Structure 1
Amino acid sequence: MIFTFVWAGWEGIAHDSRVLKEVAFNQTSGFPFPPSVLILTFTDNYYLCDAAYTNTRGFMTPYRNTRYWLADFRRQRALTKEEKFNHAHAQLRNVIERSYGVLKARFQILKQMAPFSFPIQRDKVIACFAVHNFIRKCNIHDQLFMAYGENTLFSEIQGGESDGQFVQDIEWGSQGIEYMNTLRNQIASQLWSNGSN
């Protein structure tokens, strides 16, 4: 539940994939791509992303138009290998959502930024992430981290993360997309053959 990279500096509202595109193509951003992306080889290093992103080298998304949310699997087990993959993907991505839950609960200013100048607002955001990481890394006994603990189902983002829009404006090339689709299918088949829900 530690953040590894913060890119603060957009004024107003921007879709996550648009911000990622800017960061990815800005060589001075310092964005920590998975090692396989940096050396242009195909290995199994990637970030988990929601369906608003493109499933391409370095970024693994769930299957679209397939059951995804954790609550959906409480009512009925996965029926296909794609659902099985999406269930595992959602369980892993839930850690990301819980991390944001802790951050927003601790720092209410992130929900409604006071009318400071833009550079001060940016610095406040970065400071909030830094304090969050400090508390987590130092193993400080913290009520918020306990409240959003390991077994917590966190779905605050469920209804609004992509608002039904599937943004595919990041183009890593057809070879990267094909590779990641194949890898996702292999993982889904392996999960399905293991037979555990």
Structure 2
Amino acid sequence: MSSSESDNEVLMLLNSSDDSSDDTRSNRVYKTRINYYSELDNQEFQLRFRLDKQSVQLLLGEIYPFLKVKGTRNHGISPLHQLLLTLRFYALGTMLLSVADFIGVSKASACRTVRDVSNAIAQLYSKYIYMHSDTEQDFYAVSRFPRVLGALDGTHIRIQSPCSQIGEEFRNRKGYFSLNVQAVCNADLLFMNVVTRWPGSAHDATIFNNSDLRAQCENGSFGNKWLLGDSAYPLKPYLLTPLINTQTRGEQLYNEAHIRTRNCIERCFGVWKRRFPVVALTLRLSLLRANAVIIATAVLHNICRLKKLDDISPEVEIPEADVSPTESSTEETFSTERANLIAEYFHKLLFCYITTLIYKILPTCALTYSYFFLISVYED
């Protein structure tokens, strides 16, 4: 057999093997991708993606530099479809496969897209989440509590167990795995600070004591303003907590005003979780991706509040918040600041309130006697 004939036989074998592999290889199927931006009206669009069309367009322009696939060449996922897929995942908090089918991509592509877009939106943290300096008047309008910088609290975001080695660190006192997320908001329910890296077993005071926010407060970065926290936090000159046992009416007024004003952070958490149920249900992602999703949805929450978008009811059932006793802090130092506030402000606030009430109710003939009687009681 000549060398040329042997070469031909080799080529025939190679070709036959290639043909057989092509016959057994399944053809790649590309799913149809619907352009929901043009197909849906603004109301239906906002119902499914939690943001209106204008906000999505502006957000897309901001995150575009951080996205990896920026075109549809080789059937790549367009930036708009990437963003809509991620927003749909935030709105449902369901399995990635369901979101992938909704957009028309594979589950693996959906997983990568959620990761990339969440990281891109999280890059906008410093632009949309920062400590505001003009919070005093808005908080004062809530319940006449003066010099309030922000309302501080923590909330548990459910996650799946990270792994057997460190999983128990993330089991909180309520019995499920979570991340303990600390946040500060203003009276308009805008996040001003969000910390997401702590496991569910971490105490609220531990998170605050190890945060940059505490260092900024102790350095006097925010002047003589106060954060308001519940009894799980330590009492500090810049962090006021409620009184456990009230003795005077002034102390009762302090507690009532404190609770009403600090309730802003509870409302903020509620609005955030209703708009983006992914943080109200169980996050079935790795820790890094879960952190990115939490920060990204906090950024989107602020965008919605700034653009005054209407709150949208969730499409899925949100579990009621777990109710459990608040962990108390044993630290009772720096009580002078709180005591002075009660004595010099809330006690006098009660006196002014009663005096005003007397002017409105009592006739002129009884006003002088009642006024001096009230002064004598107050001085006693």
Instruction: Report whether the alignment pairs 1:14 with 2:14.
Output: no
- 1:127 corresponds in structure 2 to 296
Q: Are the counterparts in 1 of residues 196 and 295 from structure 2 also a CA contact under 8 Å?
A: yes
With structure 2 as the length reference, what TM-score do the two structures score? 0.37
Query: How many residue pairs align between the two structures?
Result: 161
2:283 aligned residue (89, 95, 114) = 114
Q: Are the counterparts in 2 of residues 66 and 83 from structure 1 also a CA contact under 8 Å?
A: yes
> 1:80 Cα shift?
1.3
- 1:96 corresponds in structure 2 to 265
Matches within 5 A, 1:44-63: 44-63=224-243
Shift in CA distance, 184/65, structure 1 to aligned 2, threshold 3 Å: same
Percent of aligned positions that are identical: 25
Q: Could you say what secondary structure the match of 1:141 adopts?
A: coil
CA RMSD in angstroms comes to 3.1
1:84 aligned residue (240, 250, 253) = 253
Shift in CA distance, 21/121, structure 1 to aligned 2, threshold 3 Å: same
1:100-128 CA-to-partner distances (Å, cap 9, x unmatched) read 11012122222333321110011011011
Q: Are the counterparts in 1 of residues 275 and 311 from structure 2 also a CA contact under 8 Å?
A: no
Instruction: Report whether the alignment pairs 1:64 with 2:256.
Output: no
2:339 aligned residue (159, 171, 181) = 181
Q: Are the counterparts in 1 of residues 249 and 347 from structure 2 also a CA contact under 8 Å?
A: no
Q: Are the counterparts in 2 of residues 85 and 187 from structure 1 also a CA contact under 8 Å?
A: no
Q: Could you say what secondary structure the match of 1:5 adopts?
A: strand
Q: Which whole-Å CA distance do the structure 1 matches of 2:350 and 2:336 have between them?
A: 21
Identify, as 1 or 2, the structure richer in helix: 2
Identify, as 1 or 2, the structure richer in strand: 2
Structure 1 runs, 4 residues or longer, greater than 6 Å off: none
- 2:328 corresponds in structure 1 to 166
Rg comparison, structure with higher value: 2
1:48-96 CA-to-partner distances (Å, cap 9, x unmatched) read 11122222111111211249xxxxxxxxxxx711111111112211222
Q: Could you say what secondary structure the match of 2:195 adopts?
A: coil
1:192 aligned residue (350, 355, 375) = 350
After alignment, is 45-54 or 125-134 more displaced? 45-54
* Residue segments in structure 1 that go unaligned for 5+ positions in a row: 24-28, 68-78, 145-155
Instruction: Report whether the alignment pairs 1:38 with 2:196.
Output: no
Q: Which whole-Å CA distance do the structure 1 matches of 2:221 and 2:214 have between them?
A: 16
Matching residue's letter, 2:330: Q
Matching residue's letter, 2:228: L
Q: Which whole-Å CA distance do the structure 2 matches of 1:32 and 1:104 have between them?
A: 29
* Residue segments in structure 2 that go unaligned for 5+ positions in a row: 1-188, 314-319, 358-380
